[in-house]
Each structure stands twice: as C-alpha cells, then as structure tokens.
Amino acid sequence: MRFLFIGDIVGKPGRAGLAAAMPELREKHSPDLVIANGENSAGGLGITEKTAGELFELGVGVITTGNHVYRHRDAYGFLDRDHRVVRPANYPAGNPGRGATVVELGAMRVGVLNLSGAVQLRVARSPVPEADAQLARLDGDVDAVIVDFHAETTSEKVAMGWHLDGRVAACLGTHTHVPTADARVLPGGTAYISDVGMTGSRAGVIGVRREQALESFRTQMPIKFDTADEDVWINAVVVDVRDDGSASSIDQVLIPAP
C-alpha cells in the first residue's frame, strides 16, 4: 500500500497549489490513500467544513489537524460528524472531533492517529502514554497505523519516532511548516520524518506575508497576518507499507505547484 501524506495546507494558496499538483502527484505516485494536514486550510488558520470539502474533492481521504483545529466554531459539528477528519487524541476528552479513524483499503484496515506534542503546545495528556492508549484501543481493528505527530520541537518528535518504532507504519511530523532532512525507515520498520513541511507559499514566513512577520519580530506589537500567496510549493512524503503494517520506504516530495 502506498500513502501520500501532504504537509500542512496553508490557506487558499495551499489549496489551489494542491489542486494544481494533484494530477501530477497521482500520476507519478499512484497513492492508495492520500492524507493531508488541513489545520491551516481555512484562511491560513483553522479548518472549516468548506475547506475540508475542497480537500476531499481533490481526493484526500483523511484530514489530520492540530493546534488551530478549533479556530472556527462552525466547524465543531463537522468535526464530530465526519469520520474522515481527526484532531489530536490527547486534547481534553469531550472536545469536538475524534483522535483516530480507520479507513478500509481493500484488505488493509488503516488507522490514522493524530497526536499533539506537549512542548510549547497545550494538551490534556502527554502524547507518549496517549499513543500507547490509542494503539491499544485500535489493536485488532487495524493492520497498519499512520501517525501525524503535530509538534513544535524536533527533540519531542524524534523521541516519539523511537517510542513508536516497530508499532506503527509511519510517524510523520507536522506543524513547523519547514521540512526536515531526516526521512528514513527506523530499524523496527516505522517510516519517520520530523516534519513533512507545508503546502503553501515559500515566499513568506511559514505561510504568512514576510513583511508582516518581520514587522512582528521588529516591533513585538500585534500584527494582522495575511496568507502569503507567491511561489507555492507542495511538501509531502510517500510511504510504502507492507501487508504486515511495517514501512519499506519513505520518500520526500518537494515540488513547486504547477
């Protein structure tokens, strides 16, 4: 089975870039399932049913999220209702949405689990025991698990990769919007990367207009950020998974939107 995982899609430029690139991505990689982090798909912050719908239309099968998932109140019902979207499992119990979902791809049942880092991000429970609890819950219902670990620091991500090695097909980092150069299959058979990167404008600062980001750093005053829209790139990974749920390869995809 082949999985295409798309890094954080930022705003309309990210959605438009993905729409333009999707035919080429499909043709070249023939993924069995496309998973995308969509937590910044609405106006650069948050997700709505409409932006999620656009991603589903493009052929995204599962959307993962992170710290901006609750930005838009009108999405809460959608998060509860639609099993194709997940939010970090280690958020407070009872919050809208679910932390994991299962997709049936022919004979393979694939669990997609979303976790949030605890360093510099707010969570209800540490992601390490939460990962154990979630995997125990999924045990018997899935043949392979793909984890989106939405976290700030590379140290916490690397640690999670080791914690999950041999237990999941892939542990893929998101959130920083900057792709890292450490994609590899760990010794136990888990595909790992600290950060997949983003699908958005490379001309800005992690997705926002660079002059506004610089103004914010220069003045330390509140600044209204707009989504940068030039030079959009697709940051993704392709992961091949064996029938036993272990990964055989992970390859980075870093291409300009056509």
68 is catalytic: yes
Q: Which residues bind Fe ion (CB under 5 A)?
A: 66-67, 175
Nearer to Fe ion, 122 or 224 (CB): 122
**Closest distance to Fe ion from the beta carbon of 66 (Å):** 4
Closest to Fe ion by CB, 176 vs 246, is 176
List alpha helices for the chain, DSSP H: 11-29, 49-57, 76-81, 127-138, 154-164, 210-219
> Is the torsion defined by CA of 149, 155, 160, 166 positive or negative?
positive
Shortest Å distance, C-beta 150 to Fe ion: 6
Q: Which of 68, 72, 175, 177 is catalytic?
A: 68
Given the complex with Fe ion, which of 150 and 167 has the nearer CB atom?
A: 150
The burial class, CB within 10 Å (0-12 / 13-18 / 19+), for 204 is: buried
Q: How far is the CB of 244 from Fe ion (least distance, A)?
A: 32
Pick 31 or 117: Cβ nearer Fe ion = 117
Q: What is the DSSP string of 39-92?
A: TTTTTTSS--HHHHHHHHHTT--EEE--TTTTS-GGGHHHHHH-TTB---TTSP
Q: What are phi and psi of 130, to 5 degrees?
A: -65, -40
For residue 176 the two structure tokens come to 């920083």
- Enzyme catalytic residues: 68
